[in-house]
Structure 1
Amino acid sequence: MPDIRLPIRTERLVLRRFEASDLDAYHAYHSLPETARFLPGEVKSYTQSMESVGKYANFVFEKEGDWICLAIEAADSPGLLGEVVLKWLPGYGQAEIGWSLAPEARGKGIAAEAARALLNLGFGELRFHRIDAKLDALNLASAALCERLGMRLESTKVERWHYKGRWATEVVYAILAEEWKSRQPD
């Protein structure tokens, strides 16, 4: 895999490595039940947030199981708005994308813009063949985002996960490299 050139700049955003100064903003939204609702773990303690920011700041992306987690900030206003993640899955050319935003950044197209940039990286420089997103079926906002990105609903696995004291249905959205590239302007 090639070196990943950071930061990644879009029209409105900068995607970069996490920094120690992101800790308080990261904890502010990851300590909220509404943020944790569709994430695997519970709300994060300050110590857990510190551990996450440390891991995200020092990621390596060299082999299956590695992941990129980039801080999202507005190009014209520094400050953490959320994160976007790309995980290298087992199996040739496979990856998974995900995102999480602070409440004040939601509903403004920020996740879509950040996810597009990460899909461009995944299918461009990193040459993945297929990228998917695995969601709780109740996460309607992320499902709508997957559809806006051109991802197709591939499967619904009823009561696939047991987390937070209940069974959850998993939906999987995916897109192939050639599908993504055919949707991009020349």
Structure 2
Amino acid sequence: MYPVDRSGRRLALRELTGEDVDGVFAIHGDREATRHVAFEPLARAQTGELVARYMASAGASPRSEYALAVVERTSGDLIGSGRVAADPHQPRGATFGFALQPGARGCGCGAELARFLLGSGFEDLHLRRIWGARSPLNEASARVMAKAGMVEEDVIRQHIEKAGEWRGPVVHAILEDEWAAAGGPGGRGTPGGRGTAFGRGRLARAPRRPVRRSWSVARARRRPVARRRR
């Protein structure tokens, strides 16, 4: 689906445009903002090429990558970027990632954005598993993904080389059933989102599986409450 348009309590997701190059450059060209990512800070020209590639991928059919602008809902200012992309190695699986301007950190926006992207992936795209990776030194990202309900799974040893140093990213993931158990639509996993985030595309072909309640929980809900005799 194009265009993407979804709003939460404080943040909103929308498609990237050519006018967002400076806003994205403020993130991907900043040394502090890119300290824990796999690439060195980008030049403005490189940022323009990246935004152009993301804009082109938005028009693909079927669409397998959703690279979006993250804006502050009331002002409309771009404060970050988010991405959900199909994982070619697993059915109904996807990777996700996000970045915020340094000034937008430490206020809960990261946790809200992570839940926002995960909720869109599970509730709109009907994914089964979503995973992301972080630098082993990025404890803030670890806290954000833990708050979003993601589980730390493993370390990919010496997978990335940056500044002459090999790093082993830490993988965090969450499953569809875990998302539903944590609250699902309207629960603590969804930050008050409205609108359609992603719609139909290659990531949305599989029908959504109904959430199965355990027998003990279902039985407990049907059990009548005993009345006390006077």
Scaled by the length of structure 2, what TM-score is found? 0.74
> What secondary structure is seen at the aligned counterpart in 2 of 1:8?
strand
User: For residues 41-60 of structure 1, what are the structure 2 equivalents within 5 Å?
Assistant: 41-60=39-58
> What secondary structure is seen at the aligned counterpart in 1 of 2:152?
strand
How far apart, in 1, do the equivalents of 2:35 and 2:132 lie?
16
How far apart, in 1, do the equivalents of 2:82 and 2:74 lie?
19
Determine which of 85, 89, 114 is the counterpart of 2:87: 89
| CA shift digits 1:79-103 (9 cap, x unpaired) | 1100011111012011111111111
Contact persistence 1:12–1:74 (CA under 8 A): yes
Which of 1 and 2 has greater Rg? 2
How far apart, in 2, do the equivalents of 1:164 and 1:18 lie?
29
Cα offset for 1:70? 1.0
Distance verdict in 2 for CA 1:153–1:62, change over 3 Å: farther
Question: What letter matches 1:144 in structure 2?
Answer: R
Distance verdict in 2 for CA 1:59–1:124, change over 3 Å: same
Contact persistence 2:27–2:99 (CA under 8 A): no
Query: In the alignment, which residue of structure 1 is the partner of 2:34?
Result: 36
Cα offset for 1:156? 2.0
Cα offset for 1:54? 1.6
Query: In the alignment, which residue of structure 2 is the partner of 1:26?
Result: 24
Determine which of 1, 6, 12 is the counterpart of 1:8: 6
Q: Which has the higher strand share?
A: 1
Cα offset for 1:68? 0.8
| CA shift digits 1:125-153 (9 cap, x unpaired) | 21110001111111111111111111011
Question: Percent of counterpart pairs with the same letter?
Answer: 31
Distance verdict in 2 for CA 1:166–1:63, change over 3 Å: farther
Question: What letter matches 2:4 in structure 1?
Answer: L
| CA shift digits 1:13-54 (9 cap, x unpaired) | 110011222111211222111122222221111110111122
Question: What letter matches 2:112 in structure 1?
Answer: E
In the comparison of the two structures, how many residue pairs are matched? 183
Question: What letter matches 2:71 in structure 1?
Answer: E
Cα offset for 1:63? 5.6
Question: What letter matches 1:134 in structure 2?
Answer: A
Distance verdict in 2 for CA 1:33–1:156, change over 3 Å: same
Contact persistence 2:40–2:162 (CA under 8 A): no
Higher RCO structure (Cα 8 Å, ≥6 apart):
2
Query: In the alignment, which residue of structure 2 is the partner of 1:74?
Result: 72
Contact persistence 1:17–1:56 (CA under 8 A): no
Runs of 4+ in 1 over 3 A off after TM superposition: 60-64
How far apart, in 2, do the equivalents of 1:8 and 1:59 lie?
19
Scaled by the length of structure 1, what TM-score is found? 0.90
How far apart, in 2, do the equivalents of 1:79 and 1:46 lie?
19
How far apart, in 2, do the equivalents of 1:63 and 1:140 lie?
36
Query: In the alignment, which residue of structure 1 is the partner of 2:106?
Result: 107
Cα offset for 1:4? 6.0
Cα offset for 1:58? 3.4
> What secondary structure is seen at the aligned counterpart in 2 of 1:158?
coil
